[in-house]
Homo-oligomer: A and B are copies of this chain.
């Protein structure tokens, strides 16, 4: 089961909001479908958003029957709208820019040919994402030894990418190599990606897992039950500051206090070298009603109380032990080493 499938010129995806109760596959038929799927988090996970957005750009413009100029106007509109769906995930921007660039490079060709080139590029992004996951898994699993108890937050698994994931790919690889591990899963309020998605993935892959509420992690660390923390990232700056699901920063502080290594796992596509410092990363604020409810099904608080709902927080590089990427493990000094690794070869 893949989080996303492109088949017979159609784009299918698992509606992640219905997990773990039901495994529902939906088709994305165009821009409105795609925008809604991203906004509602039916499709989520920074790397998967890139792949999905690339295919969605193709699906949304393939029916365009005008001149070359009409096609480019349509593509521009599609890209702009998709970019506005989730401001923090840089992979989304990166993938859409690759699609636009590809189209521009083909602009001397017929509209039909340009569309085919756009599709080829989307498929390439898809294939590359799987390869990136494999590479991160291989580098990262070396950090895990048999007997480790690992804490993870949100979902950074096969539902978040086109491959095996980022942080979870590392865990799956260690498990595959028969290392004895146990994974504590933060439920990850408000939208419970840990409880709903990571628990479901680990159960499906038969990795020993224990679910906890986010506020229990500190206690486990104090009791010596956490050896390492592995999480994903939605955007990483040139200096190594990482935006990830709200709650990540707190875990990093707690890990530091308890002298526990704190690892970020993210493909090189997650780096945004145009941003120097974490405080300059735009943070998406979502509907406060997510905080007052449990997936909009049960209300927990009085309806009129204000709530604060940032979707992400930023962990400063000084709290990060290392960043596992598809090109190797990056350690401090981050600014220098990130520059070295990212510029070694071009991204595209």
Residues of A participating in the B interface, judged by any CB pair closer than 8 Å: 20-21, 184-190, 192, 195-196, 199-200, 202-203, 209-220, 222, 246-247, 249-250, 253-254, 256-257, 288, 291-292, 294-295, 297-302, 304-310, 313
Contacts and interface: CB of A to CB of B under 8 A. Distances in A.
A304 B218 contact: no
19 contacts: A185-B305, A189-B215, A192-B301, A195-B292, A210-B307, A211-B291, A211-B307, A212-B291, A212-B308, A213-B214, A216-B308, A216-B309, A218-B249, A222-B313, A254-B254, A256-B257, A257-B257, A294-B298, A297-B297
Given A189-B189, A308-B212, A300 B250 contact: no
A310 to B, nearest CB: 6
Given A219-B313, A250-B218, A292-B195, A211 B20 contact: no
Count the copies: 2
Given A187-B301, A216-B246, A294 B292 contact: no
Given A189-B187, A254-B250, A209 B294 contact: no
Contacts of A189: 187, 189, 213-215
A185 B292 CA distance: 12
Contact of A300 (B246, B294, B301, B306): B294
